[in-house]
A and B are shown apart, each in its own frame.
Chain A
Amino acid sequence: MTSVSAPFTVAENAGLSLLARAEIVGRESAGPAAAEVDREGRFPHEALDALRVHKLLNCAVPVDQGGEGVSLGELCAVARILGRYCASTAMIFAMHQTQILSLVRHSTPGVTAFVAEAVANDYLIASATTELGTGGDVRSSVCAVARDGEAVSLTKNAPVISYGEYADAILVTARRTADSPPSDQVLVVCRRGDVTLEPTGNWDTLGLRGTCSPGFVLTATTSADLVVGAAYSEISSRTMLPVSHSVWSAVWLGIADAAMEKARSFVRSVARRSPGVTPPGALRLAEAAAVHQQFADLVAASAARFDAAASAQDESMSGMGFSLAMNNLKVTASTLVVDLVNRAMLICGIAGYREDSQYSLGRHLRDAHGAAVMVNNDRIMNNSAQLSIAYRGTL
């Protein structure tokens, strides 16, 4: 029942646009397996194979480093397409892109060499930022880097590492030294071969089950030049946070796209049965479409805000307005995705509620609820509340 990944070779796919390739991965690999991936909570191997075949893991790496140098806006467009077919695959794509862009945009010599290796071998990169003892506060760490000459080591009790077992490298946050305060963090690149992962639980969740994100005690020994030179506070505010919020939101938009497609097709089928009579769901559909449009525009505008600031290399990325805008994006997008799936549910009625119908919305609804808890919206809004006291501009 699982479809085999697309029998495309790199040569055949060379002429295809980024979005055409994303569509092929979604339609031929991620989509057909999505129900099984969700039900069994298994890793979407076929979709990841297809992402590699179609060279979509490294597309955001600059051209001179072996990638295609696509913008965040384009990355979001890919994440959105994948999200329509399989939200877990899309989330894995989104998280990986955030990690690789963090390395590209804050590189130091050792990290540059690692990126070249990652591009050459199509590495999938995971992240361990959340830690037991800090709650969901990713800007503080308990674990610390210990240095021994050219080697560094660390041990982290991570409650959630998405696709940790399937990744080729994991980026880990830790305090700079054993004496550093919790907020003085660095980002450490750990190759899979240098890491031991001791599982501490299962990943039996409502949605996003295919991200395979259980907890692990992570122990790593890596080389000192794989500790990224920039402070994690910089990496977080300039890259990790805005990029993750943008690509995640694009995935959620993809979920909303899928729900809207089902609602639309349901209303159309009702309309066909009684020509000349506007079906009751049509008004709800029109209302939902207006919200959907706002959602799509918000994601595109936020990615464009990042792309503009990134190309200007200006200071605006570390400004409060930028942080507030990216926080708002995450909170708004994660709220709208649930809203839109709910609207679609009302439009499709029992056909959407059933698990065995072509209009079934169960998976989308469960996946959509991952959005608000993935870095809790309350936590984000609390940060925004603090920034709002200080901020004087308009967003």
Chain B
Amino acid sequence: MTEQVIRKVLGEHAKLSVDSMALDPAADLYELGLTSHASVNVMLALEDAFDVEFPDELLRKSTFASIGAIRSALTELGAA
């Protein structure tokens, strides 16, 4: 469920060169075209979808590097 929402958010905001629904959870999103510009939109959409706020410590590149990384960040925030 969580993962599906993450994939949907990535599909809408990450501007990846591949289909986010078919993505390996460990795949490096930056290698697939995620820019820091787009990652901010991804973050905002995740906050919206999961009703959380990312604290400063999580606002770094590695947090958004893969579906798995996003998932663990959300778990850390108690959202998933």
Instruction: Name A residues whose Cβ lies closer than 8 Å to a Cβ of B.
Output: 139-140, 176, 180-184, 231, 233-234, 237, 315, 318-321, 323, 383, 386-387, 389-393
> Could you pull out 12 A-B pairs where Cβ atoms are within 8 angstroms?
A139-B35, A183-B34, A184-B32, A233-B36, A233-B61, A315-B60, A319-B60, A320-B56, A320-B59, A323-B36, A387-B36, A393-B56
Residues of A within 8 A of B43 (CB): 390
Residues of B within 8 A of A391 (CB): 56, 59
Of the candidates A233, A234, A383, A392, the one whose C-beta lies within 8 Å of that of B59 is A392
Is there a chain A Cβ closer than 8 Å to B50's Cβ? no
Instruction: Indicate if the CB atoms of B56 and A184 lie closer than 8 Å.
Output: no
A131 to B: closest C-beta gap in Å: 16
Instruction: Indicate if the CB atoms of B37 and A389 lie closer than 8 Å.
Output: no
Residues of B within 8 A of A180 (CB): 31
A321 and chain B: residue at smallest CB distance: B56
- A184 CA / B59 CA spacing, docked (Å): 20
Residue of A315, A320, A392, A393 most packed against chain B (CB within 10 A): A320
- A389 CA / B30 CA spacing, docked (Å): 20
- A315 CA / B30 CA spacing, docked (Å): 17
Is there a chain A Cβ closer than 8 Å to B49's Cβ? no
Instruction: Indicate if the CB atoms of B61 and A237 lie closer than 8 Å.
Output: yes
Residue of A139, A183, A392 most packed against chain B (CB within 10 A): A183
**Chain B interface category by residue count:** 20 to 34
Instruction: Indicate if the CB atoms of B55 and A390 lie closer than 8 Å.
Output: no
Residues of B within 8 A of A393 (CB): 56
Residues of B within 8 A of A323 (CB): 36
Residues of B within 8 A of A321 (CB): 56, 59
A315 and chain B: residue at smallest CB distance: B60
A168 to B: closest C-beta gap in Å: 31
Residues of A within 8 A of B34 (CB): 183
Known: A315-B62, A318-B62, A391-B59. A181 touches B40 (CB 8 A): no
Instruction: Indicate if the CB atoms of A390 and B30 lie closer than 8 Å.
Output: no
Is there a chain A Cβ closer than 8 Å to B21's Cβ? no
Residues of B within 8 A of A231 (CB): 30-31
Contact indicator per residue, chain B 10-46, by CB within 8 Å of chain A (1) or not (0): 0000001100000000000011111111001001100
Of the candidates B30, B40, B59, the one whose C-beta lies within 8 Å of that of A183 is B30
6 tightest A-B contacts by CB? A181-B33, A318-B61, A181-B17, A393-B56, A318-B60, A390-B40
- A392 CA / B59 CA spacing, docked (Å): 9
Instruction: Indicate if the CB atoms of A183 and B33 lie closer than 8 Å.
Output: yes
A385 to B: closest C-beta gap in Å: 10
Residues of B within 8 A of A181 (CB): 16-17, 32-33
B63 to A: closest C-beta gap in Å: 9
- A262 CA / B35 CA spacing, docked (Å): 45
A139 and chain B: residue at smallest CB distance: B35
Instruction: Indicate if the CB atoms of B40 and A386 lie closer than 8 Å.
Output: yes
| New contact pairs (16) apart from A176-B31, A181-B16, CB-CB < 8 Å | A139-B35, A182-B33, A183-B30, A184-B32, A184-B33, A234-B61, A315-B60, A321-B56, A386-B36, A387-B40, A389-B44, A390-B54, A390-B59, A391-B59, A392-B56, A392-B59
- A180 CA / B32 CA spacing, docked (Å): 7
A355 to B: closest C-beta gap in Å: 44
B59 and chain A: residue at smallest CB distance: A320
Of the candidates B36, B55, B60, the one whose C-beta lies within 8 Å of that of A392 is B55
B56 to A: closest C-beta gap in Å: 4
- A323 CA / B37 CA spacing, docked (Å): 12
Instruction: Indicate if the CB atoms of A233 and B62 lie closer than 8 Å.
Output: no
Residues of B within 8 A of A319 (CB): 56, 59-60
A320 and chain B: residue at smallest CB distance: B59
Instruction: Indicate if the CB atoms of B44 and A390 lie closer than 8 Å.
Output: yes
Contact indicator per residue, chain B 53-71, by CB within 8 Å of chain A (1) or not (0): 1111001111000000000
A323 and chain B: residue at smallest CB distance: B36
B27 to A: closest C-beta gap in Å: 12
Residues of B within 8 A of A390 (CB): 40, 43-44, 54, 59
